[in-house]
Amino acid sequence: MYIKNTSQLFIRQLNEDQLYLRQMGINSIEIALNSVQPAKLIQKAVKIHNNKLYIINDEYNLDDFDKVYIIGGGKATAEMAFSLENILVESNINYEGITNIPEGLDIDHSKLSGKIKINYASHPIPNLNGLNGTKQMMEIIENTSQKDIIFCLISGGGSSLLPLPKKGISLKDLQEINSLLLVSGASIHEINTIRKHLSDFKGGNLVKKLYYLSGATLISLIISDVVGDKLDSIASGPTVPDPTIYKDAIDILKKYKIYNKVPGSALKHLEEGMLKEKLENPKPNDACFNNVHNYLIGSVIFAAEEINSYLKKQSFMVEYLSNEIAGEANEFGSLISNLISLKINEKLKNEKISKIALIGTGELTVTIKGDGVGGRNQEMLLSFLDNIKNQDLYYNFLIIAVNLDGIEGNSKAMGALVDNFVLNQTIKKNINPKKYLESNDSNSFFKILKSELITGQTGCNVNDLVLILVSKKLNK
- List pLDDT tens digits, range 103-135: 988 788 777 788 999 999 999 999 999 999 999
**Domains of the chain from N-terminus onward:** 6-36+300-471 (3.40.1480.10), 38-164+199-244+281-298 (3.40.50.10180)
- List pLDDT tens digits, range 430-468: 999 999 999 999 999 999 999 999 999 888 889 999 999
The answer, yes or no, to whether residue 475 has pLDDT greater than 60, is no
Integer angstrom CA distances of residue 469 from 131, 200, 340, 397, 446:
44, 46, 9, 6, 19
Residue 348's pLDDT band, with cuts at 50, 70 and 90, is: low
- List pLDDT tens digits, range 5-16: 999 999 999 999
The answer, yes or no, to whether residue 349 has pLDDT greater than 80, is no
Query: Residue 385 has what pLDDT?
Result: 96
Query: Residue 474 has what pLDDT?
Result: 56
Residue 476's pLDDT band, with cuts at 50, 70 and 90, is: very low
What is the average per-residue pLDDT within 42-59?
95
- List pLDDT tens digits, range 233-256: 999 999 999 999 999 999 999 999
- List pLDDT tens digits, range 73-105: 998 999 999 999 999 988 889 999 999 999 988
- List pLDDT tens digits, range 186-208: 888 899 999 999 999 999 999 99
Q: What value does the mean pLDDT of the chain take?
A: 93
